[in-house]
DNA sequence: CGGAGTTCGTAAGGTTGACTTACAAACATG
DNA sequence: CATGTTTGTAAGTCAACCTTACGAACTCCG
């Protein structure tokens, strides 16, 4: 068949296919992603999506009129009005009066998230000394705090302590509870089962369902570093692909790629603490290997090393930063990360260590050319996991992050 | 407010929210992913999705009746019948007679992908000596091949060579052309602009739109390693998260995470060739650094090294494999990868090198515990990019991969 | 100061798409 | 041969978004 022949035939078939081009699955190969459709989609799913879209728009832009939202989302004013009506009835959106300033036309009625309609509970299990909790509003502002010392409890005792903290948070709340979010150390599956958390002596603990039964509200449980990076994403106005490294008793990370949290095939994504760094041995690790990243970077190890040789403080921190950079460089290169965030004790991380990591990653990747690799401390301090836990709930219940 | 009070109020609100629970955005926090809704969804998008779902079902399961598809997808028989009717009219599905074997009830009419309705063109620009192309059917079977020697051409000459190859493929096709897919070396943005491909002397070349104009049909352009991993995903029945390392003149990789291709913030995901390995120097690289992975692993470098010391062949390959393992270990740990695939000259990769990589990754990660890390050669040989290019077209045009 | 133009929000009716219900066709079984 | 099962289609319902149209409320300008 001639070239022209093939083309004509194709054009004819296109015509025969009628509207199919316009109907093409949106995003089938958008932004380099291939979607493999796996579940049916019904019209009501579209409704849910558009509901979340309206909420999301108000979350990020805030103080918008129905017409503004319509323009921003591409939905018609009529549809937005309908969705907003539904959301107002649920208390998730409130009218906040008319827009001031003089413009032609009927004045716009401004809308905002109904901050007081619900409260969210967040729990952070990642600290070695205490379980910490908070009551937050729908915008992620912390309203109340609670804390229960851990005192070395593990296993069922630790679980009882979580229950205790959850109960206290429920009693501290003054509005209907949208849900409870928990950031836990260890490996957590999508159903909120803590597959393993050695520090707490947990294995295959169905924490989500246990807590859901206890508080009678939706519960989301995820890894603490994953919660942290969600917080950074939502509140730290960080865009695009990024990785958050959380240094504490151990070392873990959360990865946000293309706006999606990476969970990993065995739900262990971000578990970089036991990756071996360098080929020159290193301290023995609790996992049995030598030279794991944790042996270089975990806070207790660093503190012990500095205690032994106070004069070497800067050198110790620089070496720790360099080791972190060596582990991160292949990851930054492979994932084309534009932003690395550190979370943990600022006294250890902020300064020499961060600088050494930044330099090492730059030296060992192409980042020196693209030049825009950012490595910085989190802006959310110690509340990062708490606020991330709240984000998970808001995201799960309202489809908004 | 008391605990009980908060709970009751929440329950009341839940009741007031009516069907909202059932309406919740599906997958808002499913599988550890947070969706940030960004575009509106209309009922016709659902239609497109369900169309693709039916096609996908026939792709993977093949030879099914309408009722089978309905059961598999969760859609009703009526809806499936309607969608199938549309797809038959377009030639994308054909009836292949009745199911044999005796069962109660009306015999089922079997359906299958209309393999002959369209043909797909694939082009592989990753080989250093020639551009290769093929005509494929909708199932990814290669029907015709074409090849144009490259003879060192770069820049506009190389582009003209691509045009030449594309024209030849069009003339070789005997059916309407669904589209043309291209796997190119270098960094390619989602719109098919080759941002940089040093080997071909291309920078900011809008290859997709140029080719679309030339062949008058949809064109998809992506990085060669990304095309390769899509092929492996579609034809190599590889599930879940995986990474494909492509060794040739350079070293690149493609990453498939949670079923999605990773593109990276600057569309440079998988560019691990210029990550530095180890802290002991290494050969100088074209990029200006020393000890880049490419200097250890690129085929020309390996061949030259073996030529210089034929007796050291095994040691050279083992060291190359070890270096690759050192780079991959942090990536495997961070992404919780379960499968690593090598693509390139089997004489170099398959055997000692792969074994050394496998061992090194195991030694340096937690993989020894989970134990199910697979590292293997691709099963698709030299056609991997060609077939991946076809997958991109089928995915983009039909929403099926 | 009043008409024209603009913008906002809502009402009414149309279109799309999947669902439920119902039914004819074609087969196996007792 | 009657009964039960499975397939595929026809008819009508429901959900959700769209287009069109309109009143309300404001600015601008002659």
B362 located within any domain: yes
The predicted structure's pLDDT at residue A369? 60
Among B113, B148, B168, identify where a domain stops: B113
Window B:281-320, CB contacts with A under 8 Å:
287, 289
A315 and A359 housed in the same domain:
yes
- pLDDT tens for B335-359 read 999 999 999 999 999 999 999 999 9
Contacts of A359 (CB under 8 A, 6+ apart): A325
A91 located within any domain: yes
Largest CA distance in chain A: 81
Q: What whole-number distance in Å separates Cα of residue A135 and Cα of residue A117?
A: 13
Report CA-CA distances (Å) from A118 to A54, A82, A92, B39, B113: 18, 22, 8, 26, 50
Give Cα B212 to chain centroid, integer Å: 21
B29 located within any domain: no
Residue B157 half-sphere exposure, CB side, CA atoms within 13 Å? 9
Q: Could you tell me what percentage of chain A is helix, strand and coil, using 3-state DSSP and rounding each to the nearest 5?
A: 45, 20, 35
Report CA-CA distances (Å) from B213 to A67, A310, B36, B166, B219: 39, 68, 35, 12, 9
Look up tokens 């989190």; give the residue: A378
Report CA-CA distances (Å) from A327 to A277, A332, B62, B328: 6, 9, 44, 10
Token digits of residue B105: 């009830």
Which CATH number goes with the domain that contains B145? 3.30.420.40
Window B:93-132, CB contacts with A under 8 Å:
117-118
Among A72, A90, A113, identify where a domain stops: A113
Q: Which residue of B has its CA nearest to A70?
A: B40
**Residues composing chain B:** 401
The C1' atom of D1 and the CA atom of B110 lie apart, in whole Å, by 30
Q: Tell me whether strands A242-247 and A339-343 are parallel, antiparallel or unpaired.
A: parallel
- pLDDT tens for B274-332 read 999 988 878 888 888 889 999 999 999 999 999 999 999 999 999 999 999 999 999 99
- pLDDT tens for B16-73 read 333 233 222 222 332 223 445 568 888 788 899 999 999 999 988 889 999 999 999 9
Q: Is the pLDDT higher at B190 or at B288?
A: B190
The C1' atom of D11 and the CA atom of B67 lie apart, in whole Å, by 20
A391 and A362 housed in the same domain:
no
Q: What whole-number distance in Å separates Cα of residue A51 and Cα of residue B209?
A: 36
What is the per-residue burial (b if ≥16 Cβ within 10 Å, else e) of B79-118?
Answer: bbebbbebbeebbbbbeeeeeeeeeeeeeeebbbbbeebb
Range of the domain at B332: 239-378
Q: What is the pLDDT averaged over residues B198-215?
A: 97
The predicted structure's pLDDT at residue B237? 67
Closest residue, CA to C1' of C8? A106
Give Cα B9 to chain centroid, integer Å: 49
A354 and A292 housed in the same domain:
yes
B371 located within any domain: yes
Per-residue pLDDT at B198 exceeds 70: yes
Q: How many residue pairs bridge chain A and chain B with CB atoms within 8 Å of each other?
A: 364
List the single residue in B36, B39, B173 with the smallest CB-CB distance to A259.
B36
B95 and B222 housed in the same domain:
no
The predicted structure's pLDDT at residue A44? 83
B99 and B126 housed in the same domain:
no
The predicted structure's pLDDT at residue B371? 65
The predicted structure's pLDDT at residue B147? 97
Q: What whole-number distance in Å separates Cα of residue B139 and Cα of residue B397?
A: 14
The predicted structure's pLDDT at residue A366? 83
First to last CA, chain B: 54
Token digits of residue A218: 């939706």
A365 and A277 housed in the same domain:
yes
The predicted structure's pLDDT at residue A288? 84
A135 and A168 housed in the same domain:
yes
- pLDDT tens for A246-273 read 999 999 999 999 888 999 988 999 999 9
Q: What is the pLDDT averaged over residues B89-103?
A: 90
Among B113, B134, B151, identify where a domain stops: B113
Token digits of residue A23: 């109907």
A179 and A303 housed in the same domain:
no
Report the candidate in A399, A329, A335 with the shortest Cα–Cα distance to residue A361: A329
A267 located within any domain: yes
- Mean pLDDT, rounded, of chain A: 88
B243 and B374 housed in the same domain:
yes
Runs of H (alpha helix) within A24-76: 43-61, 66-73
Check CB contact under 8 Å for A34 and B230: yes
Token digits of residue B95: 């009836």
Question: How many domains is chain A built from?
Answer: 3
Contact B277, B292 (CB under 8 A): yes
Phi-psi region of A102 (alpha: psi -120 to 50; beta: other; left: phi over 0): beta
A195 and A305 housed in the same domain:
no
Band the pLDDT of B236: cuts 50, 70, 90: confident
Interface test with A, best of B265, B368, B374 (most A CBs within 10 A): B265
Q: Tell me whether strands B339-343 and B374-377 are parallel, antiparallel or unpaired.
A: parallel
A364 and A289 housed in the same domain:
yes
Check CB contact under 8 Å for A176 and B335: no
The predicted structure's pLDDT at residue A368? 58
Q: What whole-number distance in Å separates Cα of residue A229 and Cα of residue A253?
A: 8
Q: What whole-number distance in Å separates Cα of residue A117 and Cα of residue A89?
A: 11
A6 located within any domain: no
- Mean pLDDT, rounded, of chain B: 88
Per-residue pLDDT at B14 exceeds 80: no
B62 located within any domain: yes
- pLDDT tens for A164-180 read 999 999 999 999 999 99
Per-residue pLDDT at B6 exceeds 70: no
B208 and B190 housed in the same domain:
yes
Q: What whole-number distance in Å separates Cα of residue B157 and Cα of residue A313?
A: 58
Per-residue pLDDT at B333 exceeds 70: yes
Low-confidence ranges of chain A (pLDDT < 70): 1-38, 237-239, 367-371, 401
Which CATH number goes with the domain that contains A70? 1.10.10.10
Q: What whole-number distance in Å separates Cα of residue A217 and Cα of residue A202?
A: 23
- pLDDT tens for A38-77 read 688 888 888 999 999 999 999 888 899 999 999 999 999 9
B28 located within any domain: no
Q: What whole-number distance in Å separates Cα of residue A157 and Cα of residue B189?
A: 52
The predicted structure's pLDDT at residue A287? 86
Chain B residues inside the 8 Å CB shell of A52? 25, 28, 37
Which nucleotide's C1' is closest to A78 (Cα)?
A: C10
Report CA-CA distances (Å) from A140 to A144, A147, A383: 12, 18, 11
Counting residues of chain B whose pLDDT is more than 70, the rounded percentage is: 88
User: B149 forms bridges with which residues in the sheet?
Assistant: B130
Window B:327-386, CB contacts with A under 8 Å:
327-331, 333-338, 363-366, 370
The predicted structure's pLDDT at residue B22? 27
């Amino acid at each position: 068949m001639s070239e022209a022949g093939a083309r004509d035939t194709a054009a004819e078939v296109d015509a025969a296919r009628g509207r199919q081009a316009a109907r093409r699955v949106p995003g089938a190969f958008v932004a380099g992603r291939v979607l493999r459709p796996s579940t049916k989609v019904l019209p009501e799913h579209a409704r849910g999506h558009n509901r979340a879209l309206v909420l999301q728009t108000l979350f990020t832009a805030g103080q918008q009129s129905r017409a503004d939202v319509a323009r921003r989302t591409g939905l018609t004013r009529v549809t937005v009005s309908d969705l907003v009506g539904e959301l107002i009835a649920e208390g998730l959106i409130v009218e906040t009066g008319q827009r001031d300033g003089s413009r032609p036309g009927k004045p716009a009625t401004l809308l905002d998230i109904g901050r007081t309609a619900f409260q969210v509970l967040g729990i952070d299990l990642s600290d070695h000394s205490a379980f910490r909790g908070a009551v937050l509003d729908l915008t992620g502002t912390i309203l109340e705090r609670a804390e229960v010392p851990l005192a070395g409890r593990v296993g069922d005792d630790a679980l009882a302590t979580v229950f205790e903290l959850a109960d206290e948070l429920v009693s501290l709340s003054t509005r209907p509870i949208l849900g409870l979010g928990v950031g836990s150390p260890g490996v957590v599956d999508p159903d909120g089962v803590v597959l393993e958390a050695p520090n707490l002596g947990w294995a295959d603990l169905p924490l989500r369902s246990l807590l859901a039964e206890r508080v009678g509200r939706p519960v989301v449980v995820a890894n603490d570093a994953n919660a942290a990076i969600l917080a950074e994403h939502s509140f730290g106005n960080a865009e695009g692909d990024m990785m958050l490294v959380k240094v504490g008793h151990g070392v873990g990370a959360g990865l946000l790629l293309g706006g999606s949290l990476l969970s990993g095939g065995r739900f262990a994504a971000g578990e970089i603490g036991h990756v071996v760094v360098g080929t020159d041995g290193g301290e023995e690790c609790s996992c049995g290997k030598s030279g794991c990243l944790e042996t270089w970077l975990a806070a207790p190890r660093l503190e012990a090393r500095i205690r032994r040789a106070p004069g070497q403080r800067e050198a110790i921190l620089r070496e720790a930063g360099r080791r972190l950079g060596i582990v991160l460089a292949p990851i930054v290169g492979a994932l084309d990360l534009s932003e690395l965030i550190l979370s943990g004790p600022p006294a250890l991380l902020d300064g020499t260590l961060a600088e050494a990591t930044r330099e090492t990653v730059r030296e060992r990747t192409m980042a020196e050319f693209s030049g825009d690799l950012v490595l910085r401390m989190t802006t959310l301090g110690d509340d990062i996991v708490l606020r991330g836990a709240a984000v998970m709930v808001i995201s799960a219940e309202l489809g908004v992050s």
